[in-house]
A and B are shown apart, each in its own frame.
Chain A
Amino acid sequence: MVTDHADDNELLRLAGARKSFRLPESGTVTPLDGVNLSIKKNEFLTLLGPSGCGKTTLLRTIAGFEDLDEGEVYLEGRAMSTVPAHRRPFNTVFQNYALFPHMTVAGNIRYGLEISRVSKMERAERVSDAIRLVSLDGLERRKPSQLSGGQQQRVALARALVNRPRVLLLDEPLSALDRKLRQSTQLELKNLQHTVGITFLFVTHDQEEALTMSDRIAVMDRGRILQLGTPVEIYDRPASRFVADFIGTSNILTGRLAKGRHGSVVQIDGGPEIHIRGQRHANGSIVDVVLRPEHLNLEKIEQDISGHLDATLENIVFVGSDMHLHARLKNGTPIIALHRHSRGAVGIGLAPGQTIKLYYEASAPHLMESDGS
């Protein structure tokens, strides 16, 4: 394990982080099972995964609230595990905001500066800057109980950012907000990160949120990072079935790859042949084919290599901007296709029970090595 940071752009690194503990009734739990992660300066990195995957434990390990059994956290090359939480240059925005109820908004924001004994003048200036940054002007004297959920969240943000941490840790801070507020806050947070220029480490189980806000996403499951990449990379080229399933909707078909001179074909068990462009996987290997619903069209595409799937339509679900077509292949595998809505279901002249052809471009299917599920 190399302990020096690999490049100047790296800010934080986790090396071989491992943590497990024994619960009286559930046996051994391993929230971190060998995690290696390199976090850059001035980036918005999201830890994404289902509950129990270890993302919150990872965040808390960095913050200093959890011990590691093995491995280390490095800040610009300096090991952090001997440094207690209150001395680490990170700040956290907690899921329930954790605003001090017996202090005002200004008191809450001031707290960190008082602890580090910043001078009174500088304190006042930084506090008012922070309040302006999150648009809380006029609410300085209020107590947390007198604020709305959105306002409380902004106080939590200001309270953390006013200390100019090296990394801002955010533990599912938007989960308590209603949908519309969530979406507007997501954009605000992204812009805030650009403005402030600090690395944001964000934890969420909402993949849409992760795709919207992040520069990079680390998808986690059962204590391991399954894939690290930009939102586009994760979406277009998932590395495993889990990632493909977790991000967006996927149709995953398993079959054997047969490479040919003009293109390759994956033979799905008891099902159709999928035509694809050149792939690096070995001839004859078992692969998982990922076809996103938006890749499947009702109209034929005029490309040199393309293919289609024969399926029986079972359900049409109207969701406003799109229609989800739930169908089934001849071998019984369910398929979901997306159709841009211009007219109602009557407009496309389809009804459940009909057989349809779903067309796709040869570049659309994404191949992954099958993990046997």
Chain B
Amino acid sequence: MNENYKNSPLGAGGTEERLWNYIDGTSSADEKLVIEKLLQENAEWREKYRELLEVNSMLRSIELEEPSMRFTKNVMEGIAKLQIAPATKSYINKKIIWGIGIFFITLVVGFLVYGFGQVDWTAKGDTKIPIDLGKVDYSKFFNNTYVNVFMMINVVLGLFLLDRYLANKRKQFREEA
């Protein structure tokens, strides 16, 4: 048994958390034994345990709030003219989603292949890259309104996904903080 457990001061290093886990029954078997021993030997731990048990028992006794007497009637009136919406699964066909995804991936790959096809790979030079980026004629690649619109949509989608990703990260960070 770890003797450090005995010396850990109350209120520090998650003592309450360990006691709550013990009370909730979520401690591991080993941890349970350690805590039981501490409760037998340490008066401070016993006192804290009693205190948390009391809070736990009070929390178990909290009362539910009751809505008005008309509550059910109001809900039933609210749904009277409504229809249950069809299950999401019934109108979202996974094959269509996959089809759209494959279509866009094919388009992107097609553009990349076309772009690389424009590069003169046989151009001579020892260390220089075979194209002079300053002299690339971009109008060759973006000479069509539809292509420009398509690229713009991709950029917007990319920014949207980046925003979602960063928002999720921020949420996770807040939860962990």
Tell me if chain B binds chain A: no
Which residues does A use to contact B, with CB under 8 Å?
none
